[in-house]
Amino acid sequence: MIFGNLYYNQTAVLGPDIKKCFQYYKQNDLASIKPGSYEIEGHRIFVNIDEYKTQSEQERFWEGHRKYIDVHVLIKGTERIDTAFKENMRENPYDEQKDMLTLTGETQASVYMLRAGDFLICYPEDIHKTAIHAELQNKVKKCIFKIAID
């Protein structure tokens, strides 16, 4: 997991595909784009724009992926994302079509509070539970860049 903010220079040390996602974010007005999936480099790099109300921790679920890296970038609102390591979780059946692995277990790594401009990069071993209230329920708009693992 890598946590940071798009407006600080630490993004310069990240790989070229992640830099490409951040460049796309900065060059496009994603706040005005309707929710949906948008290709950047076909199925290799794309972005999902999503809007929702945050929920309680108990209403959310653990997820992970095998084919893609997730780059969560908050556009509006505040969201808590809990993290855990896959080896400490119990896996449910994997949905290859959706590249979705749900799991059960407890938060063991860190809890991140994301605000506009913050990002969290989750690799396949980084299990995450998203869309949790930071303090109060609020409406969030965010993008999740998906980068294929080559």
The pLDDT, as a whole number, for residue 22 is: 93
32: closest CA among 93, 94, 76?
Answer: 76
The pLDDT, as a whole number, for residue 35 is: 98
Number of helices (H), then strands (E), in the chain: 1, 12
For residue 121, the one-letter residue type is I
Q: Give the number of other CB atoms < 10 A from CB of residue 125.
A: 11
The pLDDT, as a whole number, for residue 106 is: 78
Cα distances (Å, whole numbers) of residue 79 to 29, 99, 132: 20, 23, 6
Contact 77, 54 (CB under 8 A): yes
Distance CA 46, CA 51 (A): 17
The pLDDT, as a whole number, for residue 10 is: 67
The pLDDT, as a whole number, for residue 67 is: 96
For residue 6, the one-letter residue type is L
The pLDDT, as a whole number, for residue 9 is: 65
Q: Mean pLDDT in runs of 10 for the chain (150 residues)?
A: 84 86 94 97 97 95 96 97 90 94 85 96 94 92 95
Domains of the chain by range and CATH? 2-148 (2.60.120.370)
Q: Strand, coil or helix: what is 94? A: strand
pTM: 0.93
Report the sign of the C-alpha dihedral through residues 132, 86, 112, 110, in that order: positive
The pLDDT, as a whole number, for residue 61 is: 95
